[in-house]
Amino acid sequence: MTVTIADSASRAADVLSRPVTINGLTVPNRIAMAPMTRMFSPNGVPGEDVASYYARRAAAGVGLIITEGTYVGHPSAGGSSRVPRFHGEEQLAGWAKVAEAVHEAGGRIVPQLWHIGMVRQEGQGPFPEAPAVGPSGLRIDGTEAGRTMTQKDIDDVIAAFAEAAAAAERIGFDGVELHGAHGYLIDQFLWAGTNRRTDAYGGDPVARATFAAEIVAAVREAVSPGFPVIFRYSQWKQEAYDARLAETPEELEAVLAPISAAGVDAFHASQRRYWVPEFEGTDLNLAGWTKKLTGKPAITVGSVGLDGEFIEAFQGTGAALGSIDNLLDRLERDEFDVVAVGRALLQDPEWAAKVLSGRFDELTPYDAASLKTLS
């Protein structure tokens, strides 16, 4: 049987247009916008341009917007005064307008709550005097800087995440995502390379997951029962692309089980290339293994619709278009539930509408210049 372009277009529409439910939230299709730091929020306040940026994607068919990382209310949480914050009257008022704009466009939206931990450099904004803090005062490369977190530090950060989540529900968001990936604070606790603690927060994988699980539990308690809590994690880190939390499915289950039990409704499993198998012996990717091991809905991500890694984008490199047939195969067999799209949506706000309506010939390759504007 010959498969035509029309057949492929119809298949894409059928597979991606199915609604999906995460706790009390029903998302109208399987397409999410991946969180991508843009740095267009002076003094941490998202303005009308940020609201329009997200609303354009929602209006063009993105079912779930996951915002760029936004700092929780802890002095050491961030490293730039141009990255949005999720605390403060002016900042939250700006975010309320973002949520309203997305809803008016027909979309759903969750903020990604973020603490960068030891990635922070001395003297950076928004609070220059704040030290970098982490589980053991170690950066990803093993160098010592900042300081090791005390129990009070840990309690303060957990409270900051819970307060931000409560604020998100109060001002009209549809859920929250907790950033536990890419070598930032929560991930620094999860990874043995940066967590050398000998107390309840360090040791084996289950103990290293304690901080993440306590954040999830505090967030779960701070919001209503039906309010979705998504947890994003990765194996790789900034400056350590080969780093891994787990070498086997059993080790991965040890990490994820306590976090899942604490109240996570869905996991967002970050890979650099979604089609790469996570462990030998099966072609399941990281999101696929996450769903299999936890039974929770899973979001995949990683170079969707393109043939080059997103890491290259930050080095000024573009990327050619890539097929989504493999993605559709995996969605059809329910390997995962949602696909998060990054650079392709930066390049083209209409990407979802074009894919859902089979207008593949209108898609354009990724140009790294799209990072410079908030189009």
- Given a cut of 90, whether residue 347 has pLDDT beyond it is yes
pLDDT at 307: 73
pLDDT at 3: 38
**Cα dist from 278 to 124, 186, 254, whole Å:** 36, 21, 16
- Given a cut of 50, whether residue 1 has pLDDT beyond it is no
Closest CA to 161 of 93, 232, 87: 87
**Cα dist from 132 to 22, 57, 99, 149, 154, whole Å:** 34, 35, 31, 9, 13
* DSSP 8-state code for residue 79: S
Within 8 A by CB and 6+ apart from 92, the residues are 86, 167, 171
- Given a cut of 60, whether residue 314 has pLDDT beyond it is no
Which residue's entry shows tokens 């984008």?
313
Question: Comparing 56-60, 123-127, 200-204, 357-361, which segment has the lowest mean pLDDT?
Answer: 357-361
Higher local confidence (pLDDT), 4 or 114: 114
- Given a cut of 70, whether residue 115 has pLDDT beyond it is yes
Residue type, 256: L
**Cα dist from 127 to 82, 110, 120, 276, whole Å:** 12, 25, 11, 39
Catalytic residue list: 184
- Given a cut of 90, whether residue 38 has pLDDT beyond it is yes
Where does the pLDDT of residue 2 fall: very low under 50, low under 70, confident under 90, or very high at 90 and above?
A: very low
Q: What is the pLDDT of residues 231-276, one digit of tens each?
A: 999 999 988 888 899 999 999 999 999 999 999 999 999 999 999 9
CB 119 within 8 A of CB 156: no
| Mean pLDDT, the chain, integer | 94
Tokens encoding 28: 């109208």
CB 167 within 8 A of CB 92: yes
pLDDT at 201: 98
pLDDT at 368: 87
- Given a cut of 80, whether residue 360 has pLDDT beyond it is yes
Tokens encoding 157: 């950060």
pLDDT at 319: 78
pLDDT at 308: 58
- Given a cut of 70, whether residue 140 has pLDDT beyond it is yes
* DSSP 8-state code for residue 298: E
Within 8 A by CB and 6+ apart from 39, the residues are 80, 82, 83
pLDDT at 144: 94
Tokens encoding 133: 């803090």
Tokens encoding 136: 């053991």
Which residue's entry shows tokens 């010592």?
144
pLDDT at 313: 47
Where does the pLDDT of residue 317 fall: very low under 50, low under 70, confident under 90, or very high at 90 and above?
A: low
Where does the pLDDT of residue 139 fall: very low under 50, low under 70, confident under 90, or very high at 90 and above?
A: very high
How many Å apart are CA 197 and CA 323, to the nearest integer? 44
- Given a cut of 50, whether residue 4 has pLDDT beyond it is no
How many Å apart are CA 294 and CA 253, to the nearest integer? 8
Where does the pLDDT of residue 315 fall: very low under 50, low under 70, confident under 90, or very high at 90 and above?
A: low
**Cα dist from 183 to 112, 129, 170, 189, 244, whole Å:** 15, 22, 29, 9, 11
Q: What is the pLDDT of residues 42-85, one digit of tens each?
A: 999 999 999 999 999 999 999 999 999 999 999 999 999 999 99
Q: Could you count the other beta carbons within 10 Å of the beta carbon of residue 292? A: 16
- Given a cut of 70, whether residue 6 has pLDDT beyond it is no
Torsion angle, alpha carbons of 314, 66, 77, 244, to 10 = -60
Give pTM, 2 decimals. Answer: 0.95
pLDDT at 238: 83
Q: What is the pLDDT of residues 185-225, one digit of tens each?
A: 999 999 999 999 999 999 999 999 999 999 999 999 999 99
